[in-house]
Chain A
Amino acid sequence: MICRKCKNLFSAYLDNDLKAQERRRFEDHLAKCEDCAKAFNDFRQVVELTTDLPALQPSADFDRILRAKMTDVESVEGRGWLFSHRSVIAIGVACLLLIVAAFGTYMYKSGRTDHQDRKGPAQIAIGREVIPMVSSHADENIFTNFVMPSVPNILINKQDMQDTDMATSEDYRETRTYVLPSVTGRYTRVKGRSGTNYVIKPVSMIGASDEIGF
Chain B
Amino acid sequence: MNESDAELMTRCKDGDMTAFDILIHRHKTPLVNFIYRFIGDPDSAEDLAQETFIRVYRNIDRYRHDMAGFRTWMYRIASNLCKNELRNRSRRPRILVNNAIGNQDDEGNPIENMVDPSPRPDGQVEEKELQDVLARAISGLPEKLRIALILRDIEGMSYEEISQTIRKPVGTVKSRINRARLMLKDKMAAYVHS
- The interface of chain A, by Cβ under 8 A from chain B, is 7-8, 10-12, 15, 17, 37-39, 41-43, 45-47, 49-51, 53-59, 62-63, 65-66, 69-70, 73, 77, 79-81, 84-85, 87
Contact = CB atoms under 8 A, between A and B. Distances in A.
B169 interface: no
A49 B28 contact: no
A56 B178 contact: no
B96 interface: no
A8 B138 CA distance: 20
Given A51-B154, A65-B50, A69-B54, 15 more contacts: A12-B174, A46-B192, A51-B153, A53-B131, A53-B134, A55-B29, A55-B30, A57-B29, A58-B49, A63-B28, A66-B50, A66-B54, A70-B54, A70-B57, A87-B61
Interface string B163-181: 0000000000010011001
A38 B194 contact: yes
A84 B29 CA distance: 26
Contacts of B14: 84
By secondary structure, the A interface counts as helix
A56 B33 contact: yes
B174 A11 contact: yes
A148 B33 CA distance: 91
A53 B61 contact: no
B130 interface: yes
Interface string B49-64: 1110110011011000
Given A41-B194, A46-B192, A56-B36, A84 B60 contact: yes
Question: Counting chain B CB atoms within 10 Å of each CB, which of A11, A12, A77, A87 scores highest?
Answer: A11
- Counting from the closest, the 3 A-B pairs by CB-CB distance are A84-B15, A11-B178, A50-B153
Nearest to A81: B15
Contacts of A39: 185
A43 B46 contact: no
A37 B194 CA distance: 9
B136 to A, nearest CB: 12
Given A41-B194, A66-B53, A58 B58 contact: no
A59 B33 CA distance: 12
B177 A11 contact: yes
A45 B192 contact: yes
Given A53-B134, A65-B50, A42 B185 contact: yes
Contact of A49 (B49, B58, B188): B188
A58 B192 CA distance: 30
Nearest to A80: B15
B135 interface: yes
B50 A56 contact: no
A56 B184 contact: no
B184 A46 contact: yes
A99 to B, nearest CB: 26
Contact of A56 (B24, B45, B188): B45
B50 A62 contact: yes
